[in-house]
DNA sequence: TATATTTACTACCAATATGATAGGATTAGT
DNA sequence: ACTAATCCTATCATATTGGTAGTAAATATA
């Protein structure tokens, strides 16, 4: 239950890839796809969403590719995921009380609200910069549990 | 993103209904469906899952219906949801590291793990008894924000 | 025992979301 | 002009979701 689609996962990993190579040349779609083991065509659509949302910039033509359009510390995981999967909404009535006539008296709804807040606080708290740090830590000390708490 | 299906929502509300009427006669499927505004046939399948999972008991024939098979304080929301929607797993690799060859070095995976833990802690902490209390509070003081924190 | 009431079980169906793929149009460096 | 890239639109197979239909089995009551 409460699954994230591959779209969100791929978007997160693709932008992490860009963040890792931040200072260098634009990164080819093909390279991101290869390094992250995704279909090029599928990733193309995801990157297009990243560009529209303002987190990545595309350079067409020769020596083109993608770069981040903000600093990694300024892009949160919540933003990236929302760009391809929409806002966090475990149930419709949390974002839109009118979607269910029972909203005002429904005890379950209060729990769904708490759930949303809990999820949001986790995703809001992680930036691409954090992911980069976590990645480097993992390279140096694979199996380290520092971030598992 | 991270949506709960109606199956989970309906299951939660149906069991809350049983918890609210706990001391009385078995509750008819028809009555739960009517009171909670769900399709009878759809709810039938959900209740069947509740019986299989051991949270409700069914009585067939005349004066039949459904009752809780445990005390409301012994049934958590996490359990009810898991019975119809499976375990909390935002991404496959959190429950099963082998589902992705990158698991051991993937920074994103650490975040998905945190996300799962966060969700689980919310859902594990709410029992049907809590929902009953919340329901009564809402009846007495509609609009109260006590549980929103 | 006959009957009415109620859940149990099996199969089916329509709509939507998901995870892709194909192919041409457009942009820009050389 | 040529070539290496992204951009855009359409298409498609599969799975999930939400729901329906019909029959079988169980049981209280007359």
B57 touches A: beta carbon within 8 Å: no
Confidence grade of residue A26 (pLDDT, cut at 50, 70, 90): very high
B1 with A4: Cβ contact below 8 A: yes
Average pLDDT value for chain A: 90
Cα separation, A73 vs B36, in Å, equals 46
Mean pLDDT to the nearest integer, B86-91: 92
Out of A92-96, A99-103, A142-146, B47-51, pick the least confident. Answer: A142-146
Tokens read off for B29: 């499927």
Mean pLDDT to the nearest integer, A136-140: 85
Which of A122, A130, A24 is closest to A74 using CA atoms? A130
Among partner residues A88, A134, A149, which is closest to B107 by beta-carbon distance? A134
B140 touches A: beta carbon within 8 Å: no
pLDDT, residue B27, reads 95
B119 touches A: beta carbon within 8 Å: yes
Cα separation, A50 vs A81, in Å, equals 10
Cα separation, B65 vs B17, in Å, equals 13
B134 with A107: Cβ contact below 8 A: yes
DSSP code for B71: -
SS3 of B27, please?
strand
pLDDT, residue A8, reads 94
Helices A6-20/A40-53 angle, 10° precision: 70
CB A130 within 8 A of CB B110: no
């Amino acid at each position: 239950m409460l699954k994230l689609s591959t779209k969100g996962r791929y978007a997160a990993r693709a932008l992490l890839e860009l963040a890792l190579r931040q200072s260098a040349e634009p990164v080819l779609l093909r390279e991101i796809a290869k390094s992250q083991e995704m279909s090029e065509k599928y990733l193309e659509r995801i990157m297009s969403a990243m560009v529209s949302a303002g987190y990545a910039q595309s350079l067409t033509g020769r020596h083109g590719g993608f770069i981040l359009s903000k600093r990694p510390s300024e892009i949160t995981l919540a933003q990236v995921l929302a760009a391809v999967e929409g806002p966090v909404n475990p149930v419709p009535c949390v974002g839109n009380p009118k979607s269910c006539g029972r909203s005002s008296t429904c005890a379950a709804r209060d729990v769904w609200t708490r759930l949303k807040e809990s999820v949001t606080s986790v995703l809001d708290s992680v930036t691409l910069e954090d992911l980069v740090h976590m990645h480097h830590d993992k390279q140096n000390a694979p199996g380290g549990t520092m971030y598992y708490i």
